Amino acid sequence: MKYDVVVVGGRIGGSVSSLFASKNDVDVLMIEKRQEIGTPVQCAEGTSLGTFKILQMEPSPKYVCTEIGGLHVHSPDNNRFTIKLDSDDGFVLEKKLILERKIFDKHLAIESAKAGTDVMVKTTVKDLIIKEGKVCGVVAKHLGQTMDIQADVVIAADGLESNIARMAGLNSYQTPNDVCSCAQYEMVGADFDPDHLEVYMGEEMAPGGYAWIFPKGENVANVGIGVRSSTETAYHYLKKFASKLDATPIELNVGAVPLYGTIDKTFTDSLMVVGDAARQVEPATGGGIHITAECARIAGEVAAEAVKNEDTSSESLKKYETLWKAAVGGKLEDSLKYRKIIDKITDEELNALSKFLNDEKVEDIRSLGSVSKLSILKLIKNYPRLLRLLKDLM
């Protein structure tokens, strides 16, 4: 069996890579280990309108649950301030969409198949075929049958614990503190705010992370938590958080999110790494759908170009890393900087900052200009460390 491009993983990274490779007229096979693409759900399901510009498609009510216009941030003392979401003009953050990932992920796989991608589900990649130091395909197992699948390019979109990247000799090692453990219920029955995301911060609530409520409409919401804790599981903190809500869980999902930057190198001879496998996730929030879509599109297009040029060398595929870093590298670096600053802020400082933003009615970057100097000086006088942290932020 021989393909121009083999993509390992059938979620967003895999489907988008396959879609754009197939659109560029090369033979593509996408391999997914699960029997159904889209399950289990592995994130809070939020993304931006910009994701669909990257995908060259219009968002559909089939898989868009709600459009979000704002974000309520709850401090440890349960003070709350609001951030406005509108147009991403540098002052106001872009509106968010809450997706039904079970439908959305499958939709992307269907679009990829329509473009010409062959798909194999319930198939596990056991090894890479490597000849003279160069990746030449994969060894796959499907329903007990092992087969060699030759390929000019392999794209690893196999998630956080990417075996494919390691098999190719790329360093994808991460420490436990580099990863946020997550647990999420889909819950029914509470009177969730349909237009706002809710984020809860604090070491008692969610050590090293945050808790969230993402509304999906009709009194349904994703209620989740991400933590970095050596004493208790994310599920422990989720149960504690969810017990305060008058709602019933109908689904539970657990997983992990990388928080401390991308792997050092995302390509080698005949192979590229995308999505969670490359840790292409915003460290400050743990969000990754829009980042993965951008990087996966680039990977698919670069793979097709390399095949057509009959040059799949590391030097040729380096273009992938150059392009994705130009597109989202700066955003990821800034997000990592924010993550490190957030990790340093104490609960007491969070409480003070939240009260300040709420009292001054700061809803976006633009409204910071209306804050009085006296108010700022008072905050800094009482919490001088915040000045140093905000300087780092700027």
**Sign of the CA dihedral with 29 first, then 34, 36, and 40 last:** negative
For residue 91, the model assigns a pLDDT of 40
Helices 289-308/314-324 angle, 10° precision = 150
Number of domains in the chain: 3
Q: Are residues 218 and 125 in the same domain?
A: no
Side chain identity at residue 115, one-letter code:
A
User: Does residue 320 share a domain with residue 190?
Assistant: no
The C-alpha atoms of residue 158 and residue 212 are separated, in whole angstroms, by 26
In this predicted structure, what is the pLDDT of residue 370? 57
Q: 322-327 — which CB contacts under 8 Å span 24+ positions?
A: 323/298, 324/266, 324/280, 324/294, 324/295, 324/298, 324/299, 327/294, 327/295, 327/298
- Do 286 and 307 share a domain, yes or no? yes
What per-residue confidence (pLDDT) applies to 92?
A: 46
pLDDT number for residue 191 = 87
Q: What are phi and psi of 213, to 5 degrees?
A: -130, 115
Residue that is written with structure tokens 């498609």 in the block: 57
Residues 336 and 347 in one domain: no
Give yes or no: residues 336 and 227 share one domain.
Answer: no
Residue whose structure tokens are 């999906």: 216
Cα 380 versus chain centre, distance? 34
CA distance linking residue 347 with residue 79, whole number of Å: 12
19 and 140, same structural domain? yes
- Alpha carbons 28 and 354: distance in angstroms, whole number: 50
Q: What is the pLDDT of residue 379?
A: 76
Domain assignment of residue 115, given as a range: 2-63+100-174+263-340
Same domain, 160 and 298: yes
Question: Starting at the edge strand that comes first in sequence, how are the strands of the sheet with 96-99 ordered?
Answer: 46-48, 96-99, 64-68
Q: What is the CATH number of the domain that holds 58?
A: 3.50.50.60
Domain check: are 220 and 88 in the same one? yes
Same domain, 188 and 91: yes
Mark which of 340, 365, 382 sits at the end of a domain.
Answer: 340
Q: Which of 167, 179, 174, 171 is nearest to 126 (CA)?
A: 167
- How confident is the model at residue 362, as a pLDDT? 66
Same structural domain, 381 and 305 = no
Whole-number pLDDT of residue 384: 78
Find out whether 358 and 80 touch, Cβ atoms under 8 Å: yes
What whole-number distance in Å separates Cα of residue 164 and Cα of residue 158?
7
Contact between 106 and 24 (Cβ < 8 Å): no
Low-confidence residues of the chain, pLDDT below 50?
Answer: 87, 89-92
User: Which residue, 320, 340, 360, sits at the end of a domain?
Assistant: 340
CA-CA distance, 243 to 235, in Å (whole number)? 12
Last residue of a domain, one of 233, 259, 285: 259
